[in-house]
Structure 1
């Protein structure tokens, strides 16, 4: 290392004195009284209070402000003369954060902010402190909003009278990665939806129209690739909404989530007496405050809802695990409310509808089925040179084609909001947009895709079912995209496929075939013969894209059937042998214990176990002898596998019960009812737990219930009508 490099590195080095090291130990142990005593007893306390206490150059004032201990911070500041108190509170750390910046980092405590502001000698000094910015261009109010410190924001808004917090002074965009990021985007990215709602209602509605410029640098030039409004950003945040943010919850958490109140969270956004907040209603175009005499409108919640809300609010303060789920549900409700507010504010933009372009004509495939094999080889890149040339030609053709309409701001907004929400599966955003602007569902982007194409591409079932219930569904099914693909092509393609949480590849393939089958029943029949720009019908695309999954499903199905049939044969052999070695033996060709109820249970369970185990063997053998055609994985093979599993489980259960009955007969426990009940319960519970955890029996039951509803529903309706 050169001398210049050594000098540069030495400038960045920090040397801590012995007193500071002692203070660091007390701070690490959170012994704040001892922390203050170190400075109180030291003759150099005024000097020590300005020395850095950590590697970020935080002073003792910074550390105590961040800790939330108001009394110790007050004592520490009182050790300094009044002339140096202002200097200590304005001193920045390495990130240029003042103690007030640090105070709002972990705590939403207006009293801590009030304590620090109380050491400011005059109102101009207070204003200057609140306008100080760190190296990310964040004021104290910006930082408080970023981390969702809503009580602090309302307190500051009430202190800065008569105008309150102003977007031009306190909420200028911060600097993130060399780019400016608006306050609303920052709040949303930090899941501080409550703060975002409060800012829009009380500070400046025009914040909703600010955009976050996402840039991509290419050599010396900087190219803007995307402009994100806050609404577009929300349309991509799956964790912010209930429909997509609760998918990974377990049964207990999900049950607790459902029990938590649906209403009442908006009361946290209202002004309270403690903060003495004053609402400043602002016009959308002007920053001038309107009549400030508007009363805060309390949410109209019923008495029972208020009691329920109060109960769970008390419970979440007592139990941390309830508090975490409470915070999650509150974020989901605030995110939905924020979407509504953003749609209302930007109402004029949403009223501008781009015209739907002309639909692509139907191109019937006249090729023979044998040509599909050649296309499969082409798709597998066997002839790589021809494949690359074909792709290049397709790209050149696309560039030469004219756009349907100009890619203006309205088109970008529609595409990036409605389509992004549909692709992400956020039904709340889609529902709110279509509910407020019904014609939004008919939008077609420059690639000729509508919302139905997007939902099928990304396999978003809830979005698809929502669209299916609308009056525009039949019209949407007829749209053909610019690459000549129908919605059935999208259902058959695996371009954006994501693995489902299903037990086995065969069930994943069944789910894909169910998607295709469901869409095929809805589209016009002539679309079944339509070929895309590659000359592939939807059926061809289904075969090609799912060829690898089909092979894996074959292998998985064979291995599963072989393993289960081996177990079933073993069970059949055991119960068959048990029938000839009955407990108690024979006397004159008749069982000795034939009058016992336990013996009758043994006989019944043994016969049932033999019948079900042999039945499962038949099912698994029928699977092994099948042709494993692609569409057999839609219904036939999964149904056989489910029934084979069901009979195998039932044979395991009855075998265990037969064994329990044999034990009871052997040790003569007929008179002890409690022991008998315990033995049967253990035998049943152990096998049931094994079956439920290892095999997807629940799926078979679910499918059977749905089938019963499907078939019984219309019949029951008809019978009622006939009776009437």
Structure 2
């Protein structure tokens, strides 16, 4: 095999002499032996190969001009790399493959920190080397490293120098910080933008990608964009992120909070008390700084945090939530620091960062931009920008951001009159079908249609009456567009409501039939006069009441589901009429199942109580299983329908 030669290359101010490769012929079979040994980290086989072929450490092993050191570094074979590098000269360590990658590039791709340290220890100038694309090992690691391989990114960041040609400047510097941020290494990105402030506004490519534009497309990097379950959200709210030492800096400060934990708990209790209609004295209690209740909450929060931090730290999922909270903390700090480096709002508008953040629903980024660049004034220059923000929020169904922009805008009377290039007002955009991610986040086509109607009605209230019937350049009003866009969704909603109602009505009918017959075949039988034998016992009264409730509630459920099946299914019906009937039907069905199991348990207790007095306890426990299963499977749907129908409105502008 012909041994290729490499030209001189200047790296980090040090010039390496042309590398002299051995010219002895090594057949492909022998090369494959060394290649396999490097892949597996088999040093004994490699030593045997070197004895047969002296000074062959730098032989090319494949068509990609890779040496054994390239292969071993790519596979993360630490011991093999250490021993092989001891046998190689400094010039041999810097050899490149056909793509221009050194062994350190391959170590960066593999994510092996120890291998990278071993190579850099032998050749400290390698972190400055660049492949054919101009990428340094640091840029390679920042692009492909997984979250668990963050250590190699930190290490390469510490050994890469800001020397000409610096990897922290020009387009490659911008690519480095953007790729680092896109990989989720927000703490390292924060470290870099603090060390090299110009990276905050550096951009590359035809789209002028910046670190802030990358963050604007990462909703999962922020608390509002992370979907957590009930327990995950509970742990997230009561756990502190771990403190770590940032490379090149002081230990991180603990997470900042404008409200101490006891005040947060007290605030939630007062909010609940208001909702529940409690006396006004409870609200006044919140204004007292050192009340007994406040001290209790302070102690409870302290103990709860201690339990989560010390006792539950090893529980599955707790550390993941802790790391997630730390990542969110770094992401917010990164956004805040970058915004402080932006001189004017012109940079944000020209790079479409604001519009992208609105599109992806990143509230934290929108808030930071609004706070950094002041209130939005309605002027000739800002009118189109403000209209664009409202239109994007409506088009992508970002109600929280819409409320936020509405609050920050000094004048809102002109919002409904703003049109886009196609003549569409804000109401025309609300009439269009919502994007799939927002639509699919709602359970069932009927509730999706209800949500679309709520959006249309809310936006209609904001638009001036003179513009509600206005036509766009296609000659269509908002109502016409709504009907056309939601035709298929109405059909899907009708099908979903009918299938759900039919299934539930079958269950309700069976319960009504059983409970009706049970009323005439009471447990224990009747006396000659037709009076039940156990009429005067408490268990029998429980049976009678639960049987009647089960019968009445199941019949109510049947009637509600029957009314749903015979509805006209007009667009407006999905707003209140159909959801209200479904709420009543599901609620009564749940009551009928629960009372039916109570009646069944009471009947067995009456019949078996004389022989097995303890039988009521296991029977009652087993009877809770089907009720619990129904609650777990169907109750979340009922809660979602109730909140969607009678919950807070979409545009709560007061908040």
What range describes the TM-score normalised by the shorter chain of this pair?
Answer: 0.7 to 0.9
The answer (yes or no) to whether the contact 1:692–1:698 under 8 Å persists in 2 is no
Q: CA deviation at 1:17?
A: 5.0
Q: Equivalent residue for 1:74?
A: 82
The answer (yes or no) to whether the contact 1:142–1:171 under 8 Å persists in 2 is no
TM-score by length of 2: 0.76
Q: Equivalent residue for 1:339?
A: 335
The answer (yes or no) to whether the contact 1:145–1:195 under 8 Å persists in 2 is no
User: How far apart in 2 are the matches of 1:18 and 1:495?
Assistant: 58
Q: 1:198 aligns with which of 188, 191, 202?
A: 191
Matches within 5 A, 1:145-160: 145-146=142-143, 147=145
Q: CA deviation at 1:549?
A: 1.8
User: How far apart in 1 are the matches of 2:493 and 2:216?
Assistant: 35
Q: CA deviation at 1:423?
A: 1.1
Q: Equivalent residue for 2:594?
A: 653
User: Where do 5+ consecutive residues of structure 2 fail to align?
Assistant: 1-26, 262-301
Matches within 5 A, 1:229-268: 229-244=210-225, 246-247=226-227, 249-261=228-240, 267-268=244-245
Matched, 1:464 2:402: yes
1:157-207 residue CA offsets vs partner (Å, 9 max, x unmatched): 7667xxx424742346688xxxx97222221222222222222211x2222
Q: Equivalent residue for 2:119?
A: 116
The answer (yes or no) to whether the contact 1:213–1:227 under 8 Å persists in 2 is yes
1:116-135 residue CA offsets vs partner (Å, 9 max, x unmatched): 33334xxxxx33x2322123
Q: CA deviation at 1:55?
A: 8.3
Q: CA deviation at 1:478?
A: 3.1
Q: Equivalent residue for 2:37?
A: 23
Q: CA deviation at 1:569?
A: 2.2
Matches within 5 A, 1:292-303: 299=253
Q: Equivalent residue for 1:6?
A: none
1:419–1:197 Cα change, 3 Å: same
User: How far apart in 1 are the matches of 2:316 and 2:171?
Assistant: 33
Q: Equivalent residue for 1:103?
A: 107
The answer (yes or no) to whether the contact 1:569–1:614 under 8 Å persists in 2 is yes
Q: 2:69 aligns with which of 54, 61, 66?
A: 61
Matches within 5 A, 1:673-688: 673=614, 675-688=615-628
Q: CA deviation at 1:45?
A: 7.4
User: How far apart in 2 are the matches of 1:94 and 1:670?
Assistant: 88
User: How far apart in 2 are the matches of 1:165 and 1:310?
Assistant: 44
Q: Does the residue aligned with 1:439 lie in a helix, a strand or coil?
A: coil
TM-score by length of 1: 0.69
Q: Equivalent residue for 1:614?
A: 555
Q: CA deviation at 1:512?
A: 0.8
The answer (yes or no) to whether the contact 2:583–2:642 under 8 Å persists in 1 is no
1:317–1:599 Cα change, 3 Å: closer
Matched, 1:38 2:54: no
Q: Equivalent residue for 1:269?
A: 246
Q: Does the residue aligned with 1:227 lie in a helix, a strand or coil?
A: coil
Matched, 1:492 2:431: yes
User: How far apart in 2 are the matches of 1:493 and 1:506?
Assistant: 17
Q: 2:569 aligns with which of 615, 628, 649?
A: 628
Q: Equivalent residue for 2:365?
A: 429
Q: Which sits farther off after the overlay, 338-347 or 435-444? A: 435-444
1:302-322 residue CA offsets vs partner (Å, 9 max, x unmatched): 899999999989999967854
Q: Does the residue aligned with 2:554 lie in a helix, a strand or coil?
A: helix
Total equivalences in the alignment:
573
User: How far apart in 2 are the matches of 1:325 and 1:643?
Assistant: 38
Q: 1:212 aligns with which of 198, 201, 204?
A: 204
1:412–1:471 Cα change, 3 Å: closer
Q: CA deviation at 1:552?
A: 2.8
Q: Equivalent residue for 1:186?
A: 179
1:130-164 residue CA offsets vs partner (Å, 9 max, x unmatched): 3221233212333344448776666667667xxx4
Matched, 1:412 2:419: no
The answer (yes or no) to whether the contact 1:23–1:38 under 8 Å persists in 2 is yes
User: Where do 5+ consecutive residues of structure 1 fail to align?
Assistant: 1-12, 121-125, 215-225, 273-295, 353-408, 715-724
Q: CA deviation at 1:571?
A: 1.7
1:45–1:667 Cα change, 3 Å: farther
User: How far apart in 2 are the matches of 1:707 and 1:317?
Assistant: 36
Matched, 1:569 2:548: no
The answer (yes or no) to whether the contact 1:137–1:174 under 8 Å persists in 2 is no
The answer (yes or no) to whether the contact 1:605–1:654 under 8 Å persists in 2 is yes
Matches within 5 A, 1:348-367: 349-350=344-345, 352=346
The answer (yes or no) to whether the contact 1:154–1:271 under 8 Å persists in 2 is no
Q: CA deviation at 1:492?
A: 1.7
